[in-house]
């Protein structure tokens, strides 16, 4: 049997990395020539935004997938720089691109999480790459971008990153600009926080209300959650009665996992 070209490390070695994915809205509706142009532009926009934020894209482990790029960033990459300056510069570059006459408009969904991400034979393995893919496919993220027609970028970050970085007071990150949603995609369930540069939570909630099948949300939807309360159920994508922190499927309280060899976040 052929050995894996990227064998997983021995038990106990679980490097935690920042993972990011960017996806072009309505890419499949474009003709082949235009898809080629959009792919080139996506790479250019990501390169320029990263450089403006002081990040070196040459150090990223990138996994292109046509209209989508998934990337695992180097260890010790400042999470606040990715959530703040990178998102800011990417939205600005998209706005400049879309304002040019005769160009194909590019609008992006962006998802970010941190956690275990291992090199594997077909790319990467671990919970963080899976979570990033599921957050990217969140119906709430799709609906917000689709209905905020003047927006160029809609980003979603995991609850873990929101709690550890956004709420921790990193400069240029305003917790009030994020809207909390509960994401349920395939087997994944967890909280995420949506931010649309240039648009506040009220606009995002109005955009989400336009989605087919949407019903009025519970009164507490979007409120900043407690770090300690546990939610008993979910109503229309929002926690009712409390919160679950850390990207867990919502349900009855679950005891915390035993401590591992990595630092507690």
Q: 130-147 pLDDT, tens per residue? A: 889 999 999 999 999 999
Under the banding of pLDDT at 50, 70 and 90, the label for residue 12 is low
Q: What is the pLDDT of residue 11?
A: 56
Whether 225 shows a pLDDT value over 80: the answer reads: no
Task: Tell me what the pLDDT averaged over the chain comes to.
Answer: 78
82-86, 90-94, 168-172: least confidently modelled range = 168-172
pTM higher than 0.85: no
Whether 235 shows a pLDDT value over 60: the answer reads: no
Residue with tokens 């336009």: 210
User: What is the tens place of the pLDDT at every residue in 154-178?
Assistant: 999 999 999 999 998 888 899 999 9
Whether 233 shows a pLDDT value over 80: the answer reads: no
Give the rounded percent of residues in the chain with a pLDDT score beyond 70.
70
Q: Which residues pair with 181 in a beta bridge?
A: 192
Calculate the alpha carbon distances from 180 to 75, 147, 157, 201 in Å.
27, 17, 10, 9
Whether 245 shows a pLDDT value over 70: the answer reads: no
233 by Cβ neighbours in 10 Å (0-12 / 13-18 / 19+) ranks as exposed
Under the banding of pLDDT at 50, 70 and 90, the label for residue 126 is low
Calculate the alpha carbon distances from 242 to 87, 249, 256 in Å.
29, 14, 17
Q: What is the pLDDT of residue 40?
A: 93
Under the banding of pLDDT at 50, 70 and 90, the label for residue 13 is low
């Amino acid at each position: 049997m052929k050995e894996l070209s990227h064998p997983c490390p021995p038990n106990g070695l679980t490097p935690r990395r920042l993972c990011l994915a960017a996806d072009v809205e309505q890419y499949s509706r474009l003709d082949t020539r235009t898809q080629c142009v959009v792919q080139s532009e996506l790479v250019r926009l990501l390169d320029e935004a990263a450089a403006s934020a002081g990040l070196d894209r040459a150090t990223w482990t990138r996994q292109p997938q046509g209209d989508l790029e998934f990337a695992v960033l180097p260890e010790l990459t400042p999470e606040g720089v990715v959530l703040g300056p990178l998102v800011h510069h990417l939205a600005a570059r998209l706005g400049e691109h879309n304002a040019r006459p005769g160009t194909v408009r590019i609008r992006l969904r962006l998802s970010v999480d941190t956690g275990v991400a291992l090199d594997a034979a077909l790319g990467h393995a671990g919970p963080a790459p899976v979570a990033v893919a599921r957050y990217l496919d969140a119906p709430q993220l799709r609906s917000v971008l689709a209905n905020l027609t003047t927006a160029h970028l809609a980003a979603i970050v995991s609850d873990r990153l929101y709690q550890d970085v956004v709420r921790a007071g990193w400069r240029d990150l305003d917790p009030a600009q994020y809207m909390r949603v509960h994401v349920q995609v395939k087997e994944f369930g967890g909280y995420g926080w949506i931010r649309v540069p240039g648009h506040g939570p009220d606009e995002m909630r109005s955009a989400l209300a336009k989605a087919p099948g949407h019903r009025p949300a519970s009164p507490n939807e979007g409120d900043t959650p407690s770090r300690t309360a546990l939610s008993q159920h979910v109503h229309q994508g929002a926690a009712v009665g409390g919160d679950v922190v850390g990207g867990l499927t919502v349900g009855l309280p679950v005891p915390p996992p035993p401590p591992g060899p990595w630092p507690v976040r």
